[in-house]
Amino acid sequence: MTFATVWYVGARVNAADRPWASRKTSGETNSMLNPETRGASDRSNEREPDVRDIIDYAEGIGELARINGADWNLEIGVLAEIFAHSDPGRAPAVLFDQIKGYPAGIRIVSGLHNTCRRLAYSFGFEATDDPTVLVKAYRDRMKGSFKLIPPVAVTAGPLIENVDRDDTVDLFKFPVPMIHEKDGGRYIGTYCVVIMRDPDTGWVNLGTYRVVAHDRNTAGVWISPGKHGRLIREKYFKNNEPCPVVVCCGPDPVLFLAGSHEIKHGVTEYAYAGGHRGRPYETIASELHGLPMPARAEIAFEGEFLPNETRPEGPFGEFTGYYASHVRDEPIVRVRRVYHRNDPILTMASPMRPPTDVSFAKCIVQSGMIWDEIESAGLNGVKGVWCHEAGAIRMFIVVAIEQLHPGHAQQAGMLVAGCHSGNYAGRWIVVVDSDIDPANLDDVIWAMSTRCDPVADIEYIKRAWSTPLDPMLRTPPWENTRAIVNACRPWDWRHEFPEVASASPERRKAVEAKWAQEIQAVIRR
Ligand SMILES: Cc1cc2nc3c(=O)[nH]c(=O)nc-3n(C[C@H](O)[C@H](O)[C@H](O)COP(=O)(O)O)c2cc1C
Ligand SMILES: [Mn+2]
């Protein structure tokens, strides 16, 4: 053992013992809350969004592990990987303290919201252990009460408890982790949002892009072609101007998930995340460029991308589970301000062979987004959507439908492949009937094996939006091929399709009721 202590904290405690359950902002009224969550307990909508709140919550439900004494250099990243792989979708959040070479209190956290309960809490959904219930809750909210809620500017907040300026800036005052052996540097921004403003429209975009600390006051950011931050940066560079930027390391979970999903062009992720919180985010204007920073974030730093300066960036572990994009010259950020809370907590998302410490939560949110988008495009009969962790979230997506007309399965597959949330870096889209649980790989493989003729039932889309991170691409343009697998019973002879050999639901229920004790004793449900 190279670290000093590991322990798991807390079983479920009484509501009265949970200080976070009663934390309130002065002046807050219930009308600011998402209506469907009003009056409910255990939901973060009722509190100020920040990293500490979700850590408290995780601790309260026994889903927090603490590790003291680990090294930022190839221990913390590897431990995060060991935990994430140990129990995908059920692993605890891990809080690292007393990090080697750093004062106690400067911490790193990984896996903040990577279970059903912690994700439900963050979004203010009913607590559940069933991911498909959460996907549906997301879709129902978008169809119902959801409204964008723009942020509000404030002048004070914990983020500016400490401000370092110019010569005192040092990114390595934080225990920036070296995550994997082959990484090309220490990455400060993994679970982060990169905040930039469109020079023409004033739209503020928050995107999760990886950020390396090159040295004490220089950072490198890798943004995939077509991403909003890249489009904004290109506008400044076209005029040979520096591009103002704030990197926020330590946003609360909903803001991070907003930053790492494909929110519509022109919509600020603050308003999307605020809509889910049911309250506006409070933002503080950054000193140099007036960019809005989350007032309760842990760490942020500010500077400019320089139009004519680059440094080699990468390699870095990527969401597909590979080092595919190698080393390239990328623009750098000259860092001139660092803002942080007392005893700051650097948030970390370790990129690794999936499942990762964020992938389960991402699968839920992305599945919900796709479901919402394909229905909004007019598709009827959708019964479920699931993005699989093993498919690196984006590369293996299953949609279940109640087939209603000829060509329906094809329409569903095309929409999943083409909608904004399903388009980037995809590979396989599988369409299944409604008796198949899209999140259950046994079900999905059974359907693909028994209801699909590979020659007749697989369609291809060519030249689709991919990325240098796609391990199957070696050169630009970064476009790839999608397969839409129709694993539904063939529409034209669906009524003659062989019957499923399984007890009817009624028969099963009756037998289960009669033999309940015996069944429980055998399979211990
Ligand atoms: C942990 C994590 C790391 C990511 N790293 C990058 C990255 O380095 N570059 C990138 O372009 N996208 C990255 N993404 C994906 C983007 O965050 C995502 O595509 C998002 O939609 C970008 O925001 P935008 O739509 O406002 O451009 C990452 C996502 C996650 C969850
Ligand atoms: Mn965006």
Tell me the pLDDT tens digit for each residue of 410-467: 999 999 999 999 999 999 999 999 999 999 999 999 999 999 999 999 999 999 999 9
Tell whether the model's pLDDT for residue 510 goes beyond 90.
yes
Ligand 1 centre to CA of 128 (Å) is 27
CA-wise closest residue to 322 among 471, 426, 475: 471
Element spanning 84, H or E: helix 76-86
| Domain ranges, ordered by start, for the chain | 5-129, 152-348, 377-496
Positive or negative torsion for Cα 444, 450, 451, 454 = positive
CA-wise closest residue to 467 among 262, 270, 311: 262
Q: What single letter denotes the amino acid at residue 175?
A: P
Structure tokens belonging to residue 499:
């019957």
Residue 346 class from Cβ within 10 Å (0-12 exposed, 13-18 middle, 19+ buried)?
buried
Question: pLDDT (tens digit, 9 = 90+) per residue, 265-285?
Answer: 999 999 999 999 999 999 999
CA distance 335 to 135: 39
Instruction: Give the pLDDT score at 407.
Output: 97
Ligand 1 centre to CA of 350 (Å) is 13
Question: pLDDT (tens digit, 9 = 90+) per residue, 360-383?
Answer: 999 999 999 999 999 999 999 999
The residue contributing the CA closest to ligand 1 atom 18 is: 260
Phi-psi map region of 393: left, alpha, beta (phi>0 left; psi -120 to 50 alpha): left
Instruction: Give the pLDDT score at 10.
Output: 29
Give the residue, out of 191, 208, 424, with the most ligand 1 atoms within 8 A of its beta carbon, to mutate for a pocket test: 208
Instruction: Give the pLDDT score at 42.
Output: 54
The residue contributing the CA closest to ligand 1 atom 31 is: 260
Contact 382, 374 (CB under 8 A): yes
CA distance 271 to 466: 27
Contact 387, 419 (CB under 8 A): no
Ligand 1 centre to CA of 517 (Å) is 49
Instruction: Give the pLDDT score at 326.
Output: 87
Ligand 1 centre to CA of 180 (Å) is 19
Q: Which fold does the domain 377-496 belong to in CATH?
A: UbiD C-terminal domain-like (3.40.1670)
Give the residue, out of 195, 196, 260, 362, with the most ligand 1 atoms within 8 A of its beta carbon, to mutate for a pocket test: 260
The residue contributing the CA closest to ligand 1 atom 16 is: 260
Ligand 2 centre to CA of 369 (Å) is 14
Cis omega (within 30 of 0) on the bond before 351? no
CA distance 99 to 71: 6
Given pLDDT bands bounded at 50, 70 and 90, which one contains residue 224?
very high
Average pLDDT over residues 127-151: 94
CA-wise closest residue to 191 among 88, 114, 302: 114
DSSP state, residue 459 = E
Instruction: Give 251-295 as a DSSP string.
Output: --HHHHHHHTS-PPTTS-HHHHHHHHHTSPPEEEE-TTT--EEET
Ligand 1 centre to CA of 209 (Å) is 5
Instruction: Give the pLDDT score at 361.
Output: 96
Tell whether the model's pLDDT for residue 169 goes beyond 80.
yes
Instruction: Give the pLDDT score at 34.
Output: 43
Looking at the CA of residue 208, tell me the nearest atom of ligand 1. Answer: 17
CA distance 324 to 473: 8
Contact 296, 279 (CB under 8 A): no
Looking at the CA of residue 229, tell me the nearest atom of ligand 1. Answer: 27
Question: pLDDT (tens digit, 9 = 90+) per residue, 481-490?
Answer: 999 999 999 9
Structure tokens belonging to residue 325:
């994009």
Looking at the CA of residue 263, tell me the nearest atom of ligand 1. Answer: 25
Given pLDDT bands bounded at 50, 70 and 90, which one contains residue 45?
low
CB atoms within 10 A of CB 329: 11
Ligand 1 centre to CA of 268 (Å) is 15
Contact 142, 372 (CB under 8 A): yes
Which pTM was predicted? 0.90
Which residue spans within 415-457 are E strands per DSSP? 428-433
Which residue spans within 403-478 are E strands per DSSP? 428-433, 458-465
CA distance 91 to 94: 9
The residue contributing the CA closest to ligand 1 atom 25 is: 262
Instruction: Give the pLDDT score at 145.
Output: 87
Residues written for the chain: 525
Question: Average pLDDT of the chain?
Answer: 91
Question: What share of the chain in percent tops pLDDT 90?
Answer: 88
Domain 152-348 has CATH 3.50.7.10: no
Q: Residues with beta carbon inside 6 Å of ligand 1?
A: 190, 205, 207-210, 222-224, 227-229, 259-262, 349, 358, 362, 424
